Amino acid sequence: MRIIGIESSCDETGVAVYDDSLGLMSHVLHTQIAMHAEYGGVVPELASRDHIRRVVPLIRLALEQAHTSQSELCAVAYTAGPGLIGALLTGAMGAVAYAHALGIPCVPVHHMEGHLLAPMLEDPRPQFPFVALLISGGHTMLIKVEKPGSYELLGQSVDDAAGEAFDKTAKLLGLPYPGGPGLEKLAAKGDPKVYDFPRPMIKNPGCDFSFAGLKTAVLNAVTERKGDLDEKVRCDLAAGFTRAVADTLCRKSERALKQTELNTLVVAGGVSANTDIRNALCALMKKRHGQIFFARREFCTDNGAMIAYAGMQRFKAGQLGTSAVKVFPRWDLTSLKPL
Ligand code: KG4
Ligand code: ZN
């Protein structure tokens, strides 16, 4: 069985073909980063219009690269939420119309389930149950995953998501949108011990996070220097910030593992592409003699492969969409049906 997956929740159009027995057949992506960079963030209307331009050519390309004809497809999966409403609608309409034209079902997919299951595309793949740390631009969550589709929220950010904190801090340091990758490069040249930023909510019980105060601490350090930010200071600030985020993620992940008596951690979402954060979490799991899994870097950020994979799992469970185009800009991951 072979499915095509379409991702369009934010500023990336991704399409992939996944085969249930052969694995990932192809994946193609168009990123809108250059288009939004001059505005310092995603402009939703521009994002929607660009998805419209990209979806059909990317579907053609993904099929071509997978040496797959349309008649071999069993379903069309698409991101139905959460995300930007206009961006979601373009992908959803394309997917529903395409499925209708081919006479096959469409499968709505939860974007964060896509991220969470992306490490299942790797070899070796994680075994259930595990704790998932989801760190993206819009979400920071710790989830107990009993089995696919069975998600128990252990903790989440009470304010900014980890990726949002990266983007806002990067902006303070004069980096273009999206700031995460640029901040990582600066941090690599900095000394994380120069600025000892707070580890927010570390002493609070439970697994919730808070990142807004950390961003303010960086702002205060920048203000104190009255804008006099030479390269060394910017690198040290970036390194200190990253260390504080990494420490916080490690401490809360460890708490979640203790609480659930599990020792497997699966890390997904855009921020999990960050080498310092990957290294810190790997060190934690080494200390605990546990196992850790990530997606390959290109599947940490938004992509079609994760939607095709998650869509296949939902398809096999018979959880199909209807011909009505429905999207969910806000959608609770824990409300999903178990598989
Ligand atoms: O998962 P994702 O692609 O989209 C959402 O679902 O939100 O995550 C995007 C976020 C952005 O905030 C971006 O700055 C961050 O992931 N990000 C990174 C890195 N690459 C992407 N943050 C830190 N280091 C990176 N290398
Ligand atoms: Zn995402």
What are the pLDDT digits (tens) for 168-215? 999 999 999 999 999 999 999 999 999 999 998 888 889 999 999 999
CA dihedral 303, 55, 77, 84 (to 10 degrees): 70
CA–chain centroid gap for 139, Å, is 8
| Index of the ligand 1 atom closest to the CA of residue 163 | 12
Give me ligand 1 centre to Cα 224, in Å: 28
Ligand 1 lined by 29 (C-beta under 6 Å): no
Q: Is the CB of 301 under 6 A from ligand 1?
A: yes
pLDDT digits (tens, 9 = 90+) for 17-75: 999 999 999 999 999 999 999 999 999 999 999 999 999 999 999 999 999 999 999 99
Q: Which residues pair with 145 in a beta bridge?
A: 130, 151
From residue 218, alpha-carbon distances to 172, 196, 212, 239 in Å are 8, 10, 10, 11
C-alpha 269 – ligand 2 centre gap (Å): 6
Q: Which residues are registered as beta bridge partners of 292?
A: 265
CA 318/CA 4 separation, integer angstroms: 16
pTM, entire model: 0.97
Ligand 2 center to 316 CA (angstroms): 23
User: Which residues partner with 13 through β-bridges?
Assistant: 30
Say if CB 77 and CB 5 are below 8 A apart: yes
Residues 6+ apart with CB under 8 A from 135: 161, 162, 163, 249, 267, 268, 269, 270, 271, 272, 277
Q: Is the Cβ atom of 7 under 6 angstroms away from ligand 1? A: no
